[in-house]
Chain A
């Protein structure tokens, strides 16, 4: 935590994702500066290749010519251990004593010069967030102010001796120890209190649901989709092109038809998804930056151990609501291959991704309470069954929770906005292309009568098994291309009043559990291998139709 902020401040642009918990950077981010190629590694506390992050960091450090060691001033004792390990490599080093603003706030006073004398390496106090000291870092890099650490500090061989040496250095450098602010400390502890923690969490999640369902979905989207895009924009674009195009021709269909590139794509993307996704990413960023995620990991540890995971798995799980594809990579923070596989399967099967989740929340807010309970019950059940089954069937044991909790803090507004904007832009780029492709495929299917055939072909599934209108077959095709596209289609069918309450419940269940998008499948294949990817893909098919069919029977 803090290192990516530093990296961004150094490179002068927003490149790496930043959060208030370790594990945000799981891959290397690169940039160039004054002819140097600079590689941002995952933040680690040692070099012993205990997990994927450490392996990645270790490799990068071994390949590097020079090391810019970003030390967390607040956790000096901890980071001096890694510093001594790095010093043993005998490579030229420069130390940035980062988070000095946090240190000052806690009343922590540090003597950088003492460290400099002991280590024989320049130590520069910095704050990546405020930009203080960054000019000096840049000057030092430019004039190659890196130096090889003094040999006197690099003789210690065992980690015990390294620890004692790190403690000795810390004692020399810390002039006055700091204290965590009592408010942050007390609030942080309230979340860990068995009586207060869960209600606090429930309250928060309910708040999120209300903001989403009521304010964003019904008020904001009602305006952006129905009025701005659905009426003003639609009338303008069709008015412009109707004289030139026959809407019944293939070309007319492709451009301004029901699923057209100039009609459906911008209306769904900008009118419906943009406001929902922006709101959603803002919430996720808020959770990330406040330091609440690791506390949620502690609260949920007991639950996750039933699935052969530990509480840390809540981090990829929650990030999965943002984007399953990204979360599949984040599973690298988990301790074993077994845990990564279980978490990946849960992500692909039971976790809907951002736009889909936002739409589901919005749609669910139209459900009455009993149906809402059936819906959430079904999803929770599938999550539970999948996790427990995998834990039972997969050989081996999982690792235990051992987690350092960052302080709770009020997120910086600037970082929140930047992060939300970056994620939203990324979403529009990724999704935009798939939507264009989807629009193309669907229009051609529609024009050639393929859709009618498909509706008929899949009607045993849609009508008989699920009790849904046969047009929902189109949603499944859309979903395979891109889950959000299917979800947007579902939302618009719902707005047209094509679903009864039980039908909407069943449709939502099937869409939530339905197969991961192409991008996720690709990452899954890369990270877990073809066998696991295909099995998980088929598993989500099975889960979707079994749960949907059961719910449909139950509600009939």
Chain B
């Protein structure tokens, strides 16, 4: 399974699994479900991954991103 850190900038993806319960709760509140199609906007070297959902931009710390499982948007 691919993780969020492996998504390339400019690529679309879906989130499959968030291991941290607190973060999973926040994600569902702001509108992220396993159906949401997300766009990777930026990856800072050794730092956070930033992605887009609708018009919202969301930043995720590197350590957490390495544990979030994702799949390609068409999967």
Contacts and interface: CB of A to CB of B under 8 A. Distances in A.
**Interface size class for chain B?**
20 to 34
A456 interface: no
A46 B26 contact: yes
Given A77-B54, A180-B55, A192-B42, A310 B30 contact: no
Contacts of B60: 400-402
B28 to A, nearest CB: 5
A12 to B, nearest CB: 32
A404 B28 contact: no
B60 to A, nearest CB: 6
A77 B31 contact: yes
Nearest to A177: B54
A188 B54 CA distance: 16
Nearest to A77: B31
Contacts of B50: 192, 298, 405
A48 B25 contact: yes
A118 interface: no
B26 A45 contact: yes
A160 B25 CA distance: 9
Nearest to A179: B55
A404 B56 contact: yes
B23 A75 contact: no
Interface string B28-50: 11110100000001111111101
A184 B74 CA distance: 29
Given A45-B26, A45-B30, A163-B31, A402 B58 contact: yes
B26 A302 contact: no
Contact of A74 (B20, B27, B30, B55): B55
A82 B45 CA distance: 34
Interface residues of A, number: 45
Given A160-B28, A400-B20, A298 B44 contact: yes
A188 B55 CA distance: 13
B19 to A, nearest CB: 11
Contacts of B28: 81, 159-160, 163
A95 B43 CA distance: 38
A405 B57 contact: yes
A192 B44 contact: yes
Nearest to B67: A400
Contacts of A167: 31, 33
Contact of A301 (B26, B29, B48): B48
Contacts of A164: 33
A158 B26 CA distance: 14
Nearest to A193: B42
A276 to B, nearest CB: 34
Nearest to A294: B59
Contacts of B45: 194, 302
A403 B47 contact: no
B16 interface: no
Nearest to A405: B57
Interface in A296-345: 297-299, 301-302, 305, 310-311, 335
A50 B25 contact: yes
A48 to B, nearest CB: 6
Given A401-B64, A405-B59, A159 B41 contact: no
A302 B62 contact: yes
Contacts of B55: 74, 106, 178-180, 407
Contacts of B22: 50, 335, 399
A404 B61 contact: no
A194 B50 CA distance: 12
Contacts of B42: 189, 192-194
A403 B23 CA distance: 10
Nearest to B47: A302
Interface in A172-189: 177-180, 188-189
A314 to B, nearest CB: 12
B63 interface: yes
Interface in A62-99: 74-75, 77-78, 81-82
Most buried by B among A46, A159, A301: A301
Nearest to B33: A163
A301 B64 contact: no
Interface of A: 45-46, 48, 50, 74-75, 77-78, 81-82, 106, 159-160, 163-164, 166-167, 177-180, 188-189, 192-194, 197, 294, 297-299, 301-302, 305, 310-311, 335, 399-405, 407
Please list the 5 inter-chain residue pairs (A to B) with the smallest Cβ-Cβ separation, ordered nearest first: A401-B61, A400-B64, A400-B61, A302-B47, A192-B42
15 contacts: A50-B26, A106-B55, A159-B28, A163-B33, A167-B31, A167-B33, A178-B55, A189-B41, A192-B44, A297-B59, A299-B44, A401-B64, A402-B59, A405-B58, A405-B59
Interface of B: 20, 22-23, 25-31, 33, 41-48, 50, 54-64
Given A160-B33, A192-B42, A192-B50, 14 more contacts: A45-B30, A77-B31, A77-B54, A164-B33, A166-B31, A189-B41, A197-B44, A298-B59, A299-B44, A301-B47, A301-B48, A301-B59, A401-B60, A404-B30
